[in-house]
Amino acid sequence: MYYNGIGLLPFLFALIFSGLLSGFIAGLLGVGGGIIIVPVLYHVLSSLGFSSEIIMHVSVATSLAIIIPTGWRSYVTHKRNNAVDFTILKKWLVPTLIGSTIGAIIAGLISGFYLTLFFATIALIVCINLLLQSDNLRLGDQLPSGIFSFNIPLIVGSFSSMLGIGGGTFNVTIMSLYGVSIHKAVGTSAGLGFFLSIPGTLFFVLTGMFVANLPPGSFGYVNLFGLLLIAPLAALSAPIGAKYAHSLPKKTLTRLFAVFLLLTSIRMYLELF
């Protein structure tokens, strides 16, 4: 069933637009694709008239599925450049996987209203953090040990799975605050993002398997058309965005990303209330 008489062709064109736009913005702002793909997909599916009860689930699930191939490629590249801290990766891997599973199950079972509210709220918090953050802020010289070494990746994994992102927004920030070099933080986060996306995707497939009125080509909450179109097109347009990024100062890029998240958050709040 298509909403408002929408056929397959307009839907595919909308996904092509999503892939090109998300890749360009990701390349321009230097951020992971998930934090861009989810709001872009959300806006596109909303404008096409799909139910508000399913568009955030589909956006998050499809984004996680896209992270599997793109995250693996990123992880392998960072690994070749010796930019992965395997001590952190091994210590954080299991709690990340557990957190991802918990987050996906929760997200798959709650209503579209609460999932959208969660994303909008986190987007607003990240926006405020980007505008207020200081490059000189440091919480310690090494990552916390003991129970905190389990709880941090557990919480990050849960939140990331519910948001449809690879966790880089959280993991890179946390590692940097505890003295991990930015290159190691990014590379290690890429590895964790790849692994957390797998159980998250699987559970979104399971929880959405018997949901009615999903977009065409959906397998559970994961849209296969989106997976096949967005990932390669985003990979093509990301270098174009990255090229333009070199002509802009870092603070300008950070503020652009913060404004993008702010506008996304505001629109989601307005549609909810």
Q: Are strands 218-219 and 222-223 parallel, antiparallel or unpaired?
A: antiparallel
Render 27-51 in DSSP notation, one character per residue.
Answer: HHHT--SHHHHHHHHHHHHHHTT--
What pLDDT is stored for residue 193 in this prediction?
A: 86
- Domain limits for position 38: 3-272
Q: For the beta carbon of residue 240, count every other beta carbon within 10 angstroms.
A: 14
Cα–Cα distance between 244 and 12 in angstroms, integer? 27
Q: Is the pLDDT of residue 174 over 70?
A: yes
**The two structure tokens encoding residue 15:** 């996904």
According to the 3-state scheme, what is the secondary structure of 111-123? CHHHHHHHHHHHH
Cα–Cα distance between 168 and 128 in angstroms, integer? 17
Q: For the beta carbon of residue 138, count every other beta carbon within 10 angstroms.
A: 11
Alpha-carbon torsion (213, 218, 222, 228), positive or negative: negative
Contact 168/186 with Cβ under 8 angstroms? yes
Cα–Cα distance between 5 and 13 in angstroms, integer? 15
What pLDDT is stored for residue 130 in this prediction?
A: 75
- 229 by Cβ neighbours in 10 Å (0-12 / 13-18 / 19+) ranks as buried
What pLDDT is stored for residue 2 in this prediction?
A: 46
Q: How many domains, in total, are found in the chain?
A: 1
What mean pLDDT comes out for the span 34-61?
A: 86
pLDDT tens digit string along 194-206? Answer: 899 999 999 999 9
What pLDDT is stored for residue 136 in this prediction?
A: 61
Q: Is the pLDDT of residue 27 over 80?
A: no
> What DSSP character marks residue 3?
G
pLDDT tens digit string along 224-253? Answer: 998 999 888 887 887 787 777 667 776 777
pLDDT tens digit string along 130-149? Answer: 777 665 666 666 777 777 77
pLDDT tens digit string along 59-111? Answer: 999 999 988 887 787 788 778 888 888 888 999 999 999 999 999 889 888 89
